[in-house]
Structure 1
Amino acid sequence: MASGQPSIPTHMKAQLLEAYNTPYALKEIPVPALTSPNDLLIRLDAAGYCHTDAVIAEGEWANVPRQFPHISGHEIAGTIVRKASPSSTAADELPIGTRVASPGRGYNPCGECFECRDPGNDYEGYSFFCPRSVSNGSSKHGGFAEYVVVDARQVVPLPDGLSAVDAAPLMCAGVTIYSALKRCNLSPGQRVGIIGCGGGLGHLGLQFAEAMGLRVTGVDAAPGALELAKSLGTKAHIVDARATPAEDLVRHIGKEDGKTDRADFGLDAVLILPDTQKSFDYGTTLLRNHGLCIVVSFLERGFQVSASDLVFRDLTIRGTMLGTHETLHETVEFAAKHNIKSVKQTFALNKLGDLVDRYRAGGGGKLVLDMSL
């Protein structure tokens, strides 16, 4: 591992979003400065492309980004090349040359709000969920560039054997689906469903859930996504929602479990990943009485929920977003231990436009910028 501060250029290449609904523009701009004791300058090795990046580029989030030009990208993996001077304790614990990964949320939190004062946080005065903090790739510049500044308290060192290209998708897709599964609070042998199982989050979820010892039902409706989900080689039951009505599937599950009461048929929990009402309805139909529905998607108009499901079936509906910094560490360690990796296509930084075209074409899995290309 290198010692001291390595030589760093004054300028870098970056893919800039200069207006909504316009192609990214590859330009040369100054390398960002370090302004806080917690700041780390990361030389990018890989950056994942997320649905949120598409949402930002299309202007679907009000006031995000805060100004143009903007550098998106919040699934970040790279190498520490510079620290602030003076540096914080958290930064001092990470030597120059350390390979790290970082999610979007948690840059420069206020240290004073109710979230930051929560004694369960990883660092005193720090919260992954501080409403006054900013986020890599949305409210501040992110990882579609050669260098990015991150908060030392929001990074996780990468274990040996986990490449940057494999780590980057864990920083949003991975930690989000891992956290959602943890929130189900299921024991090995219980049943979970993943609606949207062939997408970026879903296909990681199939692997995480199986490694947790859960009995998994995966549902999708896109041919490419279904093919990808089946190709993983998990024991999950993969279902084409176009060919199998939810009511037929839940009865099949009930009979497979040897149950005779319809109220007891079905899954213990289900994760809703697509942002469509059809997906939500399909998923909740699969739940047994007292089942749990975890909503991961963020449909702007919201979902219509059946009052009968809440009252007569006692379903619980919860949302989830990313996870704590502790959960981020768990995600990386769990993925490394169980060899959980995304199915991905890689692109060079100057081919971000091709990556976006591929994203729009669909097909499942993850798309990643690989800075070595």
Structure 2
Amino acid sequence: MFPSSLLIFFPASPLSSEKKMGGASSEKTATGYAAHDDSGVLTLYTYKLRQTGPEDVLIKVLFCGICHTDIHQIKNHLGMSKYPMVPGHEVVGEVVEVGPEVTRFHAGDIVGAGVIVGCCRNCGPCKSNIEQYCNKRVWSYNDVYPDGQPTQGGFSSAMTVDQKFVVKIPPGMAAEQAAPLLCAGLTVYSPLKHFGLTGSGLRGGILGLGGVGHMGVKIAKAMGHEVTVISSSDRKREEAVEHLGADKYLVSSDEAAMAAAADGLDYIIDTVPVVHPLEPYLSLLKVDGKIIMMGVINQPMQFITPMIMLGRKSISGSFIGSMAEAEEMLEFCEKKGLSSMIEIVQFHRINDALQRLDRNDVRYRFVVDVAAGSNNASAASSNDSLLIN
């Protein structure tokens, strides 16, 4: 149960009842943790929820994963942050209300929402069902809806989301395990499918073993690939091979090992979110090999053109995945018994988790227990000391 300060306020009906709504709706508010400046510190913040429109789903948030992108946004690393901002885009919750034109979801369903909550529906990408590439996409937070109301994310008691951008969580999948799949899992699955890299027998590299990287290992292995984890040190070798099932482990600073591994990989999924040289990794690719960039980096990357010309290699990028791919990915993970490796964080410890993530001190994804942890958040709201208890 949410304490009173973290409830979604419904003057008319209880949370457990399903209510199909038209245009008019009683006002609802939600409480979450918001950044108010680029310090990266989150404090409690109550705000008005968007009304539940004809195609909207109102979700009581249960769990929300923490992604490195959340740090970029709250600290304004990309120069586009607007405050106050409630982050969080790996959201799993329970449907508590649906609009009258919603047919796929009902009260009580466990569902997920990710990075995108809106699109134009008319452009080429939208008509091709790759709405994540719509130029008028609406981000789940740090953005505005067409009516001008700010979007707020999943570090909150509730979200209102267009049904197009909601997916059902498979019944056999734990809600807390599903949260990181909505970003980290989808981010890996989508390019493997798009570039035709789903067949067994391929040799793949995973550069960086964080939240996205660890799901890359799991998904690629489940597809029947021989997987090499590439890291800057030997520190994660045992974790990669013994626990995640990687076939090989390559330390990028070991020149002899890198030379021996040259021309051996069909693809590399590059998850590193900071500037790094590309040339050592391009040398690992076979002819026609691909390096797929996934880390959000706000500085230029460099390479010399012969590194790609002499092997007909390519450098590409990929951004999360479509809603159709999200459903497909969840079904794949359920079928293969895949789950993310997570550490549960109570709601009031969210700043601790963000600080640890910034230090790469997590195996491999933090998931905030919004529902169970909200009692502590409520207690902390009596003062502003929300960084470290």
TM-score using structure 1 length: 0.85
1:133 aligns with 2:137: yes
State how far apart, in whole Å, the 2-side matches of 1:355 and 1:50 are.
Answer: 11
The alignment covers a number of residue pairs equal to: 344
1:121 aligns with 2:129: yes
Moved more, 238-247 or 142-151: 238-247
Q: Encode CA deviations 1:50-104: one digit per residue, 9 max, x unaligned.
A: 1110000111123333xx21111111110111123xx33xx22211111001111
Q: State the secondary structure of the residue aligned to 1:128.
A: helix
Which one of 65, 88, 92 corresponds to residue 73 of structure 1?
88
State how far apart, in whole Å, the 1-side matches of 2:122 and 2:73 are.
Answer: 29
Q: How has the CA–CA distance of structure 1 residues 38 and 267 changed in structure 2, closer, same or farther, with 3 Å as cutoff?
A: same
Between the aligned residues of both structures, percent identity stands at: 26
Match of 1:259 in 2: none
AA partner of residue 129 (structure 2): N
State how far apart, in whole Å, the 1-side matches of 2:120 and 2:103 are.
Answer: 20
Match of 1:111 in 2: 121
AA partner of residue 66 (structure 2): Y
Q: Encode CA deviations 1:317-365: one digit per residue, 9 max, x unaligned.
A: 2111111111111111111111211111111111111111221221341
State how far apart, in whole Å, the 1-side matches of 2:269 and 2:244 are.
Answer: 20
AA partner of residue 215 (structure 1): E
Alpha carbons 1:74, 1:136 under 8 Å: kept = yes
Match of 2:230 in 1: 219
Match of 2:44 in 1: 26
State how far apart, in whole Å, the 2-side matches of 1:346 and 1:224 are.
Answer: 23
Q: State the secondary structure of the residue aligned to 2:125.
A: coil
TM-score using structure 2 length: 0.82
Q: State the secondary structure of the residue aligned to 1:185.
A: coil
State how far apart, in whole Å, the 2-side matches of 1:224 and 1:148 are.
Answer: 39
Q: State the secondary structure of the residue aligned to 1:159.
A: coil
State how far apart, in whole Å, the 1-side matches of 2:255 and 2:172 are.
Answer: 40
* Cα shift at 1:44: 0.5
AA partner of residue 62 (structure 1): G
Q: Encode CA deviations 1:132-152: one digit per residue, 9 max, x unaligned.
A: 131113322100011111111
Which one of 10, 35, 38 corresponds to residue 17 of structure 1?
35
Q: State the secondary structure of the residue aligned to 2:173.
A: coil
State how far apart, in whole Å, the 2-side matches of 1:310 and 1:111 are.
Answer: 36
* Cα shift at 1:239: 2.3
Structure 2: segments with no counterpart, 5+ residues: 1-15, 21-25, 144-150, 374-389
RMSD of equivalent CA atoms:
2.4
State how far apart, in whole Å, the 2-side matches of 1:146 and 1:283 are.
Answer: 43
Q: State the secondary structure of the residue aligned to 2:61.
A: strand
Which one of 268, 272, 284 corresponds to residue 274 of structure 1?
272
State how far apart, in whole Å, the 1-side matches of 2:244 and 2:115 are.
Answer: 31
Match of 1:320 in 2: 318
